[in-house]
Amino acid sequence: MSLYADDVKASGANDPSVTSGLFSNSFAPSSAYSSAGTATSATSSVENEDGFQIGGALRYNIASEFYESDQVATDTYGTLDTWRINVDGQMSDLTLSFEYRFYPTFNTHFLKHGFIGYNFTDNLNMELGVNQVPFGNLAFNSHSWWFNLPYYFGLEDDHNMGIKFSYDASDDLNLMFAYYRQQDPAGPAYGMASFGGPGAGTYSYNVIPDEDGDLSSTGAPSSIQELNQFNVRAAYMVTPEIEIGASGQLQGIYNAVLDDTEYGHAIALHTDANFGLFNLKLQYINHDYAAKDDAGETLDRVQMGAYGDPYYGDGVAARGNTITAGLAYSHDVGWGPISNIQPYINYSWMTKDGELEVGGQTYDFEDTHMIVPGFMITAGGIFTYVDLAIGKNQPWLTDAFGTGLGAGHLDANGAPIPVEDLDWNMRFNINIGYYF
C-alpha cells in the first residue's frame, strides 16, 4: 500500500505553490510564519497585494518495499501520488486560502485546508474554517516526505475545523490560540460518500469510530469522534535563528451512544534552530486520547484514520510519549536546473502506556521507531524527495497495513512481539512533484 505524505519542506519553508523566495540556503524557524498574512498555516502565504493566485501540484512515487514477506517483483513500482488545486487570495485585510486534493489510487479526495482570514493589525490575525492546528514545530516538524511519527496519530500538520488567532506579542514572542469544533471534513472512504464525517477520508489523522469493537477490552464498538478542542501555543525567538516553544491541547472525544464527552490532552516542548546551513528540529510530546467504548470502558487504543483507510485491528495507543529529532543541511548548487540539495535525517521514538490481555496474561504495548535518511532536490518547480524509510511497528511500513501504533505486531497467540525481536522494515521511495 502506497503512502501519500505531504508538502515540500525545503529550508524549513513551505509549499512552493504558494510560497516564494524561501528556497535558498537560509532556513526559517516556524515563528517566521506568524501573524499578519501568514499565521503559520501550512499554505497561507500570499503577496501583500490584493488579488488571487491559483496553483497546484502533480506528484508521482517510485518505491521499493522490503517488509516481512519475501520481496517479489511487484514490490518495486511506480504510482501516481496526488494532484491538487490551490487558491490563495487577499482583499485589503481579508485573506483566503484553499487546497483540495485528489488521490485516485486510494479512491478518495478531500479538503486539506480552506479558511477565510482577517488581519486585525500587523500583529494579530484570525483564520476561520479548516486550518492548521497550532501545535509543535510549525509548519512541519520534519524534513522528509514521510513526516515524523506524530503525523500518523494527528499531532503534526493536523488540520481541523474551527477558529485560530495568532498574535505577535513582541518581536520575539508569538502566541496562538484556537478552538476547533470538529475534525476536518471527510471525503469518501472505500469510494463511498461520507457526508463530511467523521471518517477516514481526510488529510489529517483523526479519532474515528471503531465499529467492530476490535480495540476494546469488552469487545464493544466505540462510536467516538473528535468534538470540541482547544489549543494554545507559545514560541519565543531566543536569537533570530533559534526558536523554543511549548504547545498544549485539550481534546474532547464524544461517544454518541453514551452521549458523553471525555477530555484528554496533548502537550509538546519544541525547538527549531538554525546553525549556518544546518537546521535542527527537536520535539517531545505527551498525549492522552481519553475515550470510552460504547459500554463505558476506558479505551487503551483508539481508532484513527486518513486517506480513506483506518488502522485496521491495532489503532493507536491512547496514551504515550514521543520524541522526534531532525537534522538537515541546505546546499545551493548550480548543476543545470538543480539549484539546491538538502540532505537530512529524521528520527521518531514512541513509547506507549497500555496493556493487552491474552490468555490470562498481560502484555505491555510495544514501542514504535522510525528513521528516515534522505535528501531533497530542487530544480525550478520540480521538487524530488529521495528517502529510505525504516521502521519497527510503523503502520505504513509493513505488510499488515495499520499495525504498529497500538499494541504492535502480534505473535501467533495474539501477544505483542517484543520490539527488539522485530526486523527493521524498509521502503526506498522517490517522490517527484511539479508545483505551479
Class (C level, CATH) for 10-435: mainly beta
Overall pTM surpassing 0.85 (yes/no): yes
C-alpha cell at 304: 484513527
Q: Is residue 31 helix, strand or coil?
A: helix
> For residue 193, what pLDDT is reported?
72
Contact 261, 227 (CB under 8 A): yes
Contact 303, 199 (CB under 8 A): no
Q: Give exposure, 1-19, as e/b (b: 16+ Cβ within 10 Å).
A: ebbbbbbbbbbbbbbbbbb
> For residue 189, what pLDDT is reported?
85
In terms of phi and psi (left: phi > 0; alpha: psi -120 to 50; beta: otherwise), the region of 395 is alpha
φ, ψ for residue 247 (rounded to 5)?
A: -135, 145
CA–CA separation, 243 vs 262, rounded Å?
A: 33
Q: For 275-314, how does the pLDDT look when each residue is reduced to its tens digit (9 = 90+)?
A: 999 999 999 999 999 999 999 999 999 999 999 999 988 9
* CA geometry: angle 365, 371, 374, nearest 5 deg: 160
> For residue 198, what pLDDT is reported?
86
CA 205 to the chain's CA centroid: 7
Give the contacts of 360 (CB within 8 A, at least 6 positions apart). none
Show the low-confidence residues of the chain (pLDDT under 70).
Answer: 1-7, 10-48, 191, 196
